[in-house]
Amino acid sequence: MSNITDELELKGWLMDRLPYEMVWVREDSQIIYANARFCKGVGYSLKECMKLKVSDINVTVTPESWKNHWEEVMTKGAVQFRAVHKTKKGKFYEVEVHVQKFSYNGNSYICGTTNEFSESSFYKNLIDNTHSIANVGGWELNLHDGSILATNCALDILNAENSEELTPPKVIYKFKDSGRFKFLLGEVIRKGIAFDELFETKDSPPRYIRAVAKPILKGDKIYKVLGVYQDVTEIKHKENDVTLYKTIIDNAQDLIYVYNDKGDLLHYSESLIEKLGFSKKELNKMSMFDLDTSVTREFYNSHFEELREKGLHRFEWLISRKDGTKFPVDITASHLKYYDEDYSCAVVRDITAKKMRDLKLYEALEEIKFLKERLENENEYLQEEISNKINFNNIIGQSQAYKSVLIQVDQVAPTEATVLITGESGTGKELLARAIHNSSGRKNRPLIKLNCATLPKDLIESELFGHKKGAFTGAIANKAGKFTLADGGTIFLDEIGELPIELQPKLLRVLQEGEYDELGGTKTIKIDVRIIAATNRDLKEMIREGQFREDLYYRLNVFPIHNIPLRARKDDIPLLAQFFLEKYSAKAGKTFKRLSKDTIDALMHYNFPGNIRELENMIERAVIVENGPTLKPGNWIPEKDIVAASNDFKSFEANQRDYIIEVLDHTNWRVSGPNGAAKILKMKDKTLFAKMKRLGIEKKISLK
Ligand SMILES: Nc1ncnc2c1ncn2[C@@H]1O[C@H](COP(=O)(O)OP(=O)(O)OP(=O)(O)O)[C@@H](O)[C@H]1O
């Protein structure tokens, strides 16, 4: 050693190379010197170190507790303990400290030799590593001096530069709900109430931190608070995702089932509760077989077989509710394999609405088919009518007698009442039936006519009620009956007296129930038809003779209209004759304009056993054989004898009238006297005159 300076330099050089951290401290805890290893450990330069006090490095020492430490060392000479050093960057590490006192120039000093506590650093590393894997950081708050220790992971979790930022007054501002965090910290610090809660950070996007804190007691005093921060953002996101998926599944319109091949129902969407009516508790105990008792083991096995083979099984099914009612569903089941076990996830869709739509569509198509057929049939019928050139639009008649008939037509037309029109042939019964239909609410639907006298007995039934193909020999196709054609409209049954007695109950059923059974068909057909019947027969007489059912008669005779013969409304003859003259003249391309007075007279004196039809035919014939413009009497007016003979159903009055005219012809129209008609008829002249007046027989009549 050359000199003291060299010696000091060497000592300093040697101290820096010592494998220990060494520090020298004054009584006032001021660091007066530290070796290089110490400076490196705490992260300060020597110059900086020499401005620090022990409590700036050793967090277990406070300015207040220093006095006690000093005294202990001064008394004992040397002391060994463990402490926690805080680096310039705010990190902590545990050290083993050996201190001893020494005196220099009458002053006392402490020399501390510290060494990082290897076991603690091992655990510290272990803790730090495991904590960073689990995203957990620990901290410990010393309530005595307010200092805080925190693991690196705790700092990382809260993006803190140093543990200072984790002290209660600062850390609370890391969280959105700082008020709540402050409150909970206050509770644990003051009252020792532990907490474990989730907090959202102020970061963007926010992170979720689970914060746990509990007090550490010394006796009954809280002297430290131990806490943990755990970043659960990922877990929370996953949890949120799971909640979202579950909400989606539970709110799906479809029902979702997860079940295994043994028939255990493992998971289900909450929609099952509402849709099937079972409680959650009940569902949790149920197997697939309990859920649907119609599922057999055989079906279930084959269902899984299909799933294993194709990965998918799609089918329609009827699902039962708790109350036993069922609804149609479409099931799409997919195969899942998990840990070598077979599962199925089935999406079950309620197809009630679809089925209803299909049914409605089917019904609509059937209806269209039916309407199409009906239109075709109606069309065919109307074409037939048109080709017959029937024109029923004009009803001619102004006589008082006929007016009372027309009043009845007017009265009954707007009602739904069945009408029975009686009267001789050719009086215009069909015309009245048409007038009733055309003035009724059914006028936009057809009036269908059937003359019971013109059809062979065995065809009337199929004509009226229709038949199915093969119902009888010759029924080569389905045929709609007149009643089906008339549905919604009116049917006119002419010559109802000719309806075979066997068919009368069937007509009665239509009148009473509005339905009938189709010939050869299986269904009962419902119809809405108004019936107008007509006859020139005396139905009451037929009832007596057993040819007509009395119940049917009363059903038909709801509103009887008796159509009077032409001879009882003679005033209408000129009008009718003029009408037919114009009609047939135009048709034949003739020039007839009027009837001569003689022609009118002659017609007025004819009794028209064939009624208006006879008059019409007569004029048609006259237009052909005569020439106009005025129609004069001619051969076209029939002889009286022929007239009488052709009238099978002449009334008593008509017969009387004919007979009186016959006698008058014989007496050359002399009424009184020995050669007069009254004598032949064995009655008083006055009586004969009165009768002639009543029967419309005028004394002077010229037939030619
Ligand atoms: N008041 C009238 N005005 C005009 N023409 C009439 C009148 N009444 C009847 N006719 C005509 O007389 C003819 C016979 O009428 P309609 O066929 O209606 O008689 P009907 O009583 O039904 O006969 P049947 O009992 O023989 O079936 C028809 O051509 C019809 O146009």
pLDDT beyond 80 at 45: yes
- CB of residue 453 inside a 6 A radius of ligand 1: no
Confidence at residue 392, expressed as pLDDT on a 0 to 100 scale: 41
What average pLDDT does range 451-479 have in this prediction?
78
Tell me what pLDDT residue 381 has: 67
Q: What pLDDT does residue 25 have?
A: 94
Atom of ligand 1 nearest to the CA of 572: 1
Lowest mean pLDDT of 120-134, 268-282, 520-534, name the range.
120-134
* Of 73 and 242, the one with more pLDDT: 73
pLDDT at position 391: 42
Q: Which of 156, 66, 148, 154 is nearest to 112 (CA)?
A: 66
Per-residue pLDDT, averaged over 368-383, amounts to 73
In terms of pLDDT, which residue wins out, 244 or 644? Answer: 244
Nearest CA to ligand 1 atom 30: 428
Instruction: Give the position, in ligand 1's atom list, of the atom nearest the Cα of 396.
Output: 3
Q: Measured between alpha carbons, how far is 610 from 648 in angstroms, rounded to an integer?
A: 10
Examine the predicted complex and report whether its ipTM is higher than 0.90: yes
pLDDT at 424 over 70: yes
CA of residue 611 to ligand 1 center, whole Å: 8
Pocket test residue of 402, 427, 587 for ligand 1, highest count of atoms within 8 A of CB: 427
Does residue 427 have its Cβ closer than 6 Å to ligand 1?
A: yes
Q: Is the pLDDT of residue 413 over 60?
A: yes
Q: Which helix or strand (DSSP H or E) is residue 353 part of? A: helix 352-387
CA atoms within 13 A on the CB side of 553: 18
Asked if the model's pLDDT at residue 701 lies above 50, the reply is no
Structural domains present in the chain: 4-116 (3.30.450.20), 121-236 (3.30.450.20), 254-350 (3.30.450.20), 391-562 (3.40.50.300), 566-694 (1.10.8.60)
pLDDT band, very low/low/confident/very high, at 440 (cuts 50, 70, 90):
very high
Q: Given a cut of 50, is residue 677 above it in pLDDT?
A: yes
Helices marked H in 413-516 — which ranges? 429-438, 457-465, 482-485, 504-513
Are 460 and 503 a contacting pair, CB within 8 Å?
yes
% of the chain residues with pLDDT over 90: 38
Q: Specify the higher pLDDT residue, 383 or 480.
A: 480
Mean of pLDDT values over 653-663: 81
421 CA to middle of ligand 1, Å? 12
CA atoms within 13 A on the CB side of 298: 1
Residue 145: per-residue pLDDT: 80
- Which residue type does 267 have? H
Ligand 1 center from residue 432 Cα (angstroms): 8
Looking at residue 23, its pLDDT comes to 92
List beta partners, residue 224: 142, 216
Q: Is the CB of 612 under 6 A from ligand 1?
A: yes
CA 494 to ligand 1 centroid distance, Å? 12
The residue contributing the CA closest to ligand 1 atom 16 is 428
Q: Is the CB of 394 under 6 A from ligand 1?
A: yes
Q: Which atom of ligand 1 is nearest to the CA of 579?
A: 4
* pLDDT > 60? residue 531: yes
Query: d(Cα 318, Cα 348) in Å, to the nearest integer?
Result: 11
Q: What is the DSSP string of 233-275?
A: HHHHHHHHHHHHHHHHHHH-SSEEEEEETT-BEEEE-THHHHH
Q: Residue whose CA is closest, atom 29 of ligand 1?
A: 613
Q: Kindly state the average pLDDT of the residues 519-527.
A: 81
CB atoms within 10 A of CB 621: 16
Q: In degrees rounded to 5, what are phi and psi of residue 219?
A: 65, -125
Mean pLDDT of 505-522: 86
The answer to whether 333 touches 310, Cβ cutoff 8 Å, is no
- The identity of residue 4, as a single letter, is I
Per-residue model confidence as pLDDT tens digits over 584-617: 999 888 899 999 998 998 898 888 888 999 999 9
Whether residue 117 has pLDDT greater than 70: no
Instruction: Work out which ligand 1 atom sits closest to the CA atom of 391.
Output: 31
If you average pLDDT over each of 8-12, 132-136, 438-442, which comes out highest? 438-442
* pLDDT tens per residue across span 307-356: 999 999 999 998 889 998 999 999 999 998 888 888 999 999 999 988 88
Number of Cβ within 10 Å of residue 318's Cβ equals: 11
Q: What is the pLDDT of residue 640?
A: 57
Question: Ligand 1 centroid vs 439 CA: distance in angstroms?
Answer: 18
pLDDT > 70? residue 641: no
Please give the residue that has the higher pLDDT: either 215 or 480.
Answer: 215
Span 100-125, average pLDDT: 78
Nearest alpha carbon, ligand 1 atom 24: 425
Report the nearest atom of ligand 1 relative to the CA of 616: 12
pTM score, whole prediction = 0.46
Q: Write out pLDDT tens, residues 63-93.
A: 888 999 999 999 999 998 888 888 998 888 7
Distance CA 702, CA 364 (A): 69
> Ligand 1 centre and the CA of 430: distance in Å?
6
Handedness of CA 564, 565, 569, 575 (dihedral sign): positive
Whole-number percent of the chain with pLDDT over 70: 91
Q: Average pLDDT in the 38-47 region? A: 91
Name the more confident of 555 and 132: 555
Cα 311 to Cα 298: distance, rounded to the nearest angstrom: 19
Q: Is the C-alpha dihedral spanning 689, 690, 695, 696 positive or negative? A: positive
Whether 426 lines ligand 1, by a CB cut-off of 6 Å, is yes
Nearest CA to ligand 1 atom 15: 428
Q: Which of 77, 67, 55 is nearest to 27 (CA)?
A: 67
The CA distance from 671 to 687, in Å, is: 11
CB of residue 428 inside a 6 A radius of ligand 1: yes
Under a CB-based contact definition with an 8 Å cutoff, are residues 485 and 374 in contact?
yes
The rounded distance, in Å, linking the Cα atoms of 104 and 133 is 52
Does residue 504 have a pLDDT over 90?
yes
Summarised one tens digit per residue, pLDDT across range 250-288 is 777 788 998 999 999 988 888 888 889 999 899 989 999
Q: Is the pLDDT of residue 384 over 70?
A: no
Q: Is the CB of 617 under 6 A from ligand 1?
A: no
Ligand 1 atom showing the smallest separation from residue 563 Cα: 21
pLDDT interval class at 380 (50, 70, 90) = low
CA of 510 to the centre of ligand 1 (A): 27
**In which band, very low, low, confident or very high, does the pLDDT at 554 lie, cut at 50, 70 and 90?**
very high
Mean pLDDT value across the chain: 85
Model confidence at 195, pLDDT cuts 50, 70, 90, reads very high
Q: Which residue has the higher pLDDT, 670 or 29?
A: 29
* Residue 2 confidence (pLDDT): 46
Q: Decide: 503 in ligand 1 pocket, CB within 6 A.
A: no
What number of H helices and E strands is found in the chain? 29, 24
Helix %, strand %, coil % of the chain (to 5): 45, 25, 30
Q: Say if ligand 1 is within 6 A of residue 630 CB.
A: no
Using one digit for the tens of pLDDT, what is the confidence trace for 136-165? 888 999 888 888 888 888 999 999 988 889
Atom of ligand 1 nearest to the CA of 615: 12
Of 385, 398, 420, 431, which is best to mutate to test ligand 1, by the most ligand atoms within 8 angstroms of its C-beta? Answer: 431
